Structure formats: structure tokens, C-alpha cells
Chain A
């Protein structure tokens, strides 16, 4: 049985038995592009696939699926499902832990179909078969989900060596003036479409601070100063919470290396607090009190 078939079978079972009312997975759309699929009935399970183009982090749909927000075209209330199944790669599964720690939903509400992942191709969701793996996959330290109710695929017998983050090292190695100019030229291209924020499972504030109407924090202008503040501020809000799925960078239409900001802070948080987002359902120490071992400046 191929992994896709195993996935379809698992989805069919949990839907038919009533364990879950909804399954969030992947399907292939027109033009051969892989895309998220949200199904409610066992017959629809045959749409689901698993491939090296399944790049999306589906946990972005979890909260609204559990709130009954999905699948509405009008404002009449829908009955929210009690439980939702979701296909998660190792990186995606860490997002579940972060959201659990933040009480966005409870563990019982999620049935995690975990995938032992061999990496996602560049150019996904529609890449050529020969395409190399995405850089974030080459840096992956997990390969097997940290949250799962069922595991599909073969876990690796030994964890491969995670490649170092060359892009991050390169930017860190720039002298300050060059780095400042580098980032400004990146932010200059930003069109403030907020696709990075919308694709991120952890960006779930009902009203984003950077879009507040009183413009107290940052103005609405689509100009370098405001855009820089948005990106730096968003990275700060994700410190200790970002799981490195890199969806923000993938969806950016202007090719801005947003992931660098998040990875830099993830390393800072790990070195300061020994915390890696999403390995356990615990809050990031960034928002807590100083521990006995930590000292103030």
C-alpha cells in the first residue's frame, strides 16, 4: 500500500467511525499543484495524497476548523466539529504543540495523522520530480512528528545530519552597515500583503497589532520604515513560537527571505533559554518570569 493509500484509508476510517468530523489533508488540484484539502465525508478520502510537494503547514486551518469557521459563506452559525484530523509533517506537528500550550484548542480535539517526512521539494506545490529538497528540510532535526495519533511512512533508522544554516551565517557575517542596507533593500520590496502572516499558524491575533486602526504602533503606509517595523515586530512576536516551517518565505510574492529573521531569533531563544518551539506543549519562556538560573542584565 502506498503512503497515499494508507493516508486515504486512515482518513476514511476516522471519518466513517465518527472519531472526527473533518479531515485536513492534501490533494492535487488543476495544473498538478498540491493544495490543502478539507473533507467531511469518507467518500472524499480518495482525494487525499502524500508527496514531496506537500509543502503547506495545514495547522493554520486547525483553529478555524474547530471553531466551525471553515466552510461558511454566510454568517449563520455552523455546528463546530468536536474533533478534526490533520495531516502533519514534523515541522507542522510542532505547531500543534505551540498552539496547545497557548490554549487555542485541546489535545482531544485533534487527531494527528503524522507523516515520517523525507523532505519537501523546492518549487512545491508544483515542482519537477528532479527538484532538490527545500533548504529548511535539509536543516530539519526531526523527520518524525512530535505529535501524532498515527504515523504513516518509514521513520529514518538514524537521523541524518542537519545541514548548517548557511544563509543565516552569511547575513550574520556581514558588517553592520551592509546588513542594514541588505535588510532595507529586502523590506523595500515588500508590498505588505500580509501573506506571510496569514500563512503562519502562530499568527492568530484577531486584530494584528500592525494593522490596528489607531496606527499607534506603526503607520499604514507601504513604505520601508513601516515595513521594516512590521517584519521585525512580527519576528519578535514569534520568538520562541516559530517552528521553522518556512511557509512565510514560500508564500511571499516578492521573494523576501523572511525566514532569516525567525531563524535568527529561534537561535537566540535557544541559546538564552534552551527552548525550541513546539517540542513539548509548553509555553515559550520568552513570555514568562525569569527563572532562578536566569539573571537580569
Chain B
């Protein structure tokens, strides 16, 4: 395997941060978050999974899609600027998988989302394997592993004084081309993994639609959206036009896109006022079926990476593993 000394890694990261945006896990008072950092020493090496996923760097919480300026009969449209190059370092396999899942909808399936695509082209994914799984992690239940390198451009594994490195894509190879890698015998020790079962198959999820207990499961849901906002793959958004301060005689406005969630009470309300998903149980069912049935049907991958953030974030301990297990039991 190829390895890199920690000292050289830090030097390399400092260099990356000087040339472009370097995003890495960073410790703040309230927890670890993926954040732009200026120096390798700002990186939280020993931290667990960051509180939020890395999707905000490709799909920001809010962004301007375009600006419209109307002067008399003339209308001028200004598209948003293209993205600056960025490298996400210390990415967890679950979060890299989340980005691949989003790619399936935003880039791989027409129509291509220009904002996401522009950021995606300018982003390199550099992973750091988890050494073990956290208490709420269940990546193994969705076919991932804590050290799974498949979705990265480059993958690092921490071995203490050195790190093992492998490039997975041509862009990844180019990125590490000038690193002082040392060839060492042996293989990278696999991360300790915990097998987690309990997730039904897509067919089983689909069959559960008419299970009366969805109502029960959804009873304590607060429709707070935390699960969707911390999730690496949830990507529903709202688009609105808002007026901008304009010079006299002109009308300027911008088209904004912000994060939204199907768990919001009014998410599915139609223009006539009817709300087919007024009941919280139906919204919970929709969110889980979207992940395991609708999304794979439309785009390919299941929209869950087993990161476990929803389990930690939910204020009322709604647990999709528990729900999935209960539905499976009912089916049997």
C-alpha cells in the first residue's frame, strides 16, 4: 500500500487550502462540522461523524438561481456565478455516498441542475476512513462500510504516524500525483464494522404503504425537518421569487432556492388549498418510501447511506430502523 507521513499530509493540506477552498471536519463549541479551513491544524482528526452532512457544499441551504432586472420593456437575466474549486477532505464514506446519490438526481438524470453540476465539477472528494462505527451508524445495513472508498476521488486511512492513500479516479490520481508517497508492504487494516440488519427490501417498503401503523409511527413526529436537513441525501427544495431594492423605474428581483422537506406540514398543499399529506403519518411514510422506493425507482440508488444522523437529530426519537423492523414483522 502507499502511505504518506502525517507531516507531509499536513503540508499538502495547507497547500490545498492556499489554492482553493478546503473543507474538512472542524471542531466548534457545539460539535464537529464540515467547514472551510485555512490550515491542517484546524481539522478535527479524532472526531466522530460531523453533525451535518457535506451536501451543503454542493447544494447550499439557500442560493440565488438568477437575478432579473426589468427596465421598461427590457428584461435582463443574470445567472449565478460558477462555482469556485473546492476539496472536501476527511469525508466519511456515508457522506461521499450521499453526494453520489444526489448526483443521480441532479446530474445523471436530465434535466441537469446547472448550479449543482457546476459545483460538482469543481469539487474533489477526499475521504478519511472511519476506524469504527458510531452507536447510531448503520452504513452496513445499506451495503456500505466505514472504510468504503468507492465514492471518493482519493481515500485516506489513518494508521497513526502515517496514512494509507489510494486514488480511485483519474482526478484523484492527478490530485495526489506530487505527494511523497512511500510504498509499504501489506494492506490497510479494515475498519471494525458492525453488521446492522433490519431494513426491509424496496418491495417490502412498497407493500407497507397500506399498513395502518404508519399513523401510529407518525403520531409523535413534530414535522420539524431536522431529519431532512441533516440527511446526506434529502434534496427537496423550495423556489421563490423575491423583490430586490431597485432603482426608481426599475424592478429587480431574484429567484431563490432553499432547502425544504416533505415532512413540513404544508409541503404538499396545492394551490386550491387541498393537502393530500395533512396527516403526519402520511408525511413520515412518504419520506421513508421516497428513500427506499421512489428515489431508487427514478434515479437508481436508494437514498439512505446509513449515517444515522436522523436517529440522533430527531427530538422525539423516530427511528427508521425501528419502523422498518416493525413493518417487516407485520409482513411476516
Is A–B contact present in the complex under a CB 8 A cutoff? yes
Which A residues lie within 8 Å of B224 (CB)? 193-195, 197-199, 251
Which B residues lie within 8 Å of A222 (CB)? 61-62, 258-259
Contact of B222 among A192, A199, A220, A250 (CB under 8 A): A199
Which B residues lie within 8 Å of A69 (CB)? 279-280
Which A residues lie within 8 Å of B311 (CB)? 31
Q: Does A164 contact B (CB under 8 A)?
A: no
Q: How many residues of B contact A (CB 8 A)?
A: 46
Could you mark each residue 310-332 of chain B with 1 if its beta carbon is under 8 Å from any beta carbon of chain A, else 0?
A: 01010111010110000000000
Could you mark each residue 244-259 of chain B with 1 if its beta carbon is under 8 Å from any beta carbon of chain A, else 0?
A: 0000000000001011
Which A residues lie within 8 Å of B258 (CB)? 192, 220-222
Q: Does B120 contact A (CB under 8 A)?
A: no
Within 8 A of B (CB), among A180-239: 189, 191-195, 197-199, 207, 211, 213, 215, 219-223
Could you mark each residue 32-72 of chain B with 1 if its beta carbon is under 8 Å from any beta carbon of chain A, else 0?
A: 00000000000000000001100000000110000000000
Find the B residue at minimum CB distance from A56. Answer: B316
Which A residues lie within 8 Å of B62 (CB)? 220-223
Which B residues lie within 8 Å of A215 (CB)? 240, 242
Could you mark each residue 222-266 of chain A with 1 if its beta carbon is under 8 Å from any beta carbon of chain B, else 0?
A: 110000000000000000000000010011011100000000000
Which of A3-11, A32-40, A99-107, A135-143 lies at the interface with chain B? Answer: A32-40
Would B317 and A35 count as touching, CB distance under 8 A? yes
Q: Does B190 contact A (CB under 8 A)?
A: no
Instruction: Looking at the assembled complex, report how far the CB atom of B287 sits from the nearest CB atom of chain A, in whole angstroms.
Output: 13
* Bound Cα distance from A51 to B121, whole angstroms: 52
* Bound Cα distance from A176 to B238, whole angstroms: 36
* Bound Cα distance from A211 to B265, whole angstroms: 12
Contact of A189 among B30, B220, B278, B285 (CB under 8 A): B30
Would B282 and A74 count as touching, CB distance under 8 A? yes
Q: Does A278 contact B (CB under 8 A)?
A: no
* Bound Cα distance from A29 to B62, whole angstroms: 35
Would B222 and A75 count as touching, CB distance under 8 A? no
Would B222 and A195 count as touching, CB distance under 8 A? yes
Q: Does A70 contact B (CB under 8 A)?
A: yes
Q: Does B161 contact A (CB under 8 A)?
A: no
Would A193 and B316 count as touching, CB distance under 8 A? no
Which of B14-22, B94-102, B210-218 lies at the interface with chain A? Answer: B210-218
* Bound Cα distance from A56 to B221, whole angstroms: 13
Instruction: Looking at the assembled complex, report how far the CB atom of A127 sits from the nearest CB atom of chain B, in whole angstroms.
Output: 14
Q: Does A30 contact B (CB under 8 A)?
A: yes
Instruction: Looking at the assembled complex, report how far the CB atom of A268 sits from the nearest CB atom of chain B, in whole angstroms.
Output: 27
Would B256 and A198 count as touching, CB distance under 8 A? no
Identify the interface centre among A73, A220, A222: most chain B CB within 10 Å of its CB.
A73
A56-B315, A199-B315, A221-B62 in contact; A73/B214 too (CB < 8 A)? yes
Find the A residue at minimum CB distance from B213. Answer: A73
Find the B residue at minimum CB distance from A250. Answer: B315
Instruction: Looking at the assembled complex, report how far the CB atom of B68 sits from the nearest CB atom of chain A, in whole angstroms.
Output: 15
Instruction: Looking at the assembled complex, report how far the CB atom of B49 sits from the nearest CB atom of chain A, in whole angstroms.
Output: 13
Would B242 and A219 count as touching, CB distance under 8 A? yes
Q: Does B172 contact A (CB under 8 A)?
A: no
Instruction: Looking at the assembled complex, report how far the CB atom of B273 sits from the nearest CB atom of chain A, in whole angstroms.
Output: 11
Find the A residue at minimum CB distance from B318. Answer: A35
A38-B220, A71-B215, A198-B224 in contact; A191/B229 too (CB < 8 A)? yes
19 inter-chain pairs at a CB distance below 8 angstroms, sorted by A residue, are: A29-B317, A29-B322, A30-B319, A31-B311, A31-B319, A36-B316, A71-B215, A71-B218, A71-B281, A72-B278, A72-B279, A73-B212, A191-B259, A192-B61, A192-B259, A198-B224, A207-B266, A213-B240, A222-B62
The 8 closest A-B pairs by CB, nearest first: A255-B30, A73-B281, A72-B279, A35-B317, A198-B224, A222-B61, A195-B224, A73-B214
Chain A interface residues (CB < 8 Å from chain B):
29-31, 33-38, 56, 60-61, 69-75, 125, 189, 191-195, 197-199, 207, 211, 213, 215, 219-223, 247, 250-251, 253-255
Task: Taking A192-B259, A251-B226, A251-B315 as given, write out 12 further A-B residue pairs in contact, using a Cβ cutoff of 8 Å, ordered by the A residue number.
Answer: A29-B317, A30-B317, A35-B220, A60-B222, A71-B215, A73-B218, A74-B282, A75-B282, A195-B222, A220-B242, A222-B258, A253-B226
